[in-house]
Structure formats: structure tokens, C-alpha cells
Amino acid sequence: MPGAVGSRRWAWFRMVTVGGLLAGCSSSPLPPWRPAGPGPAPAAPPSAPATPADPVAAAPTTALRPLGEVRSWADYRLRAAGRLVAMHPQGSYTGPVPEVLLAIPVLEVEVNADGSVRRIEVLRRPGQAPETLQLAIDAVRRAAPYGPVGRLPRPWKFTETFLFDDQRRFKPRTLDD
């Protein structure tokens, strides 16, 4: 039942995202999280001004705390995909994938034991809208660290396919399985 599996994954994704946000609460206050939508745009960091053509640059600069241990690479990929979307609410989408996509870059991400990005290898370059490749690479780097992988088998790598729509927003393919 593919529909039931997809529903369970989304339920799990929501649970992990909310749980991760709640688990990240501590005595040190964090800036408030603001959902994507109408309202004032967040201030861009001085070293990287945001432009309307670069949705990833408009993403929040406050890093989410890394998530805890996982039991399998499938779980890790799902958490990483959820983290990518959570860190880039204006540069990503979670709804249905359009029938015609703008670009589909594929990246292999190698992580260190703590979940920080060690290396990113491009497995597929998009034929059109080549700038989406850099958007995907930047999104992966900004969402790190993804959580410890010390208990998972080596090599510590995962692959993610980015499904870009006409507005240059991405959806990790992992969330569409």
C-alpha cells in the first residue's frame, strides 16, 4: 500500500520535526521561529545579501540543533530531508511534485561522525537551470549538521535528489517516496 507508507512517513516526519524542535529547547533562548508566508522578510547576513532570484539565500540563518541518533540510513535520509525543508522554508515546498520539473540535481553527501558535511559529490547535473545545482549544494551545507552517524555502517554517505519547481523551490525526493 504505497499511500499508507507515504502517510506513515509524513506522520513520522512531522513527529520528528516537532520532537526535534522541542528537544532543542534549553535554558538558553533561541530566536523565535517564523513560518514561511506573508510578512517582513528576514534580514540577510551582511556577507551574503539575499536576492529575489536566490530563495536559499533568503532562508533563516539560525541553525536548528542536530537531531539525535538514528537506527538506519533510511531514517537518517528522512531526517536529513526534513531538516533541509525546515531550514529553507522559503526555498522549499512539501506539496505535490509538479508534473514538469525545472531541474533535478542529485547529490551524494558524505558526513563526519558528528553529522557535519565532509564532502558533496554531484551525481547528476541538471540539463536546464544549472544554477539549481548550487542552490542544492548551498541548502545541504546550511542545513548541517544532520546528527551523529557513529552507530550507522560506513561509508557515512547518503544521496538526495532535489526536485525543483518553476519558482526554483526544491523538494527532497526522499519526502516524496
Listed residue (143, 12, 153, 140) closest to 66, CA to CA? 143
pLDDT tens, residue by residue, 81-140? 999 999 999 999 999 999 999 999 999 999 999 999 999 999 999 999 999 999 999 999
Q: Could you read off the pLDDT of 113-125 as tens digits, one per residue?
A: 999 999 999 999 9
pTM for this entry:
0.64
Q: How far is CA 79 from the centre of its chain?
A: 9
Residue linked to cell 506539496: 95
pLDDT score recorded for residue 7: 52
Taken in order of first residue, the domains within the chain and their CATH numbers are 2-25+55-176 (3.30.1150)
- Residue 176: the pLDDT is 84
Report the percentage of the chain scoring pLDDT > 90.
Answer: 57
Q: How many helices (H) and strands (E) does the chain have?
A: 3, 4
For residue 76, what pLDDT is reported? 94
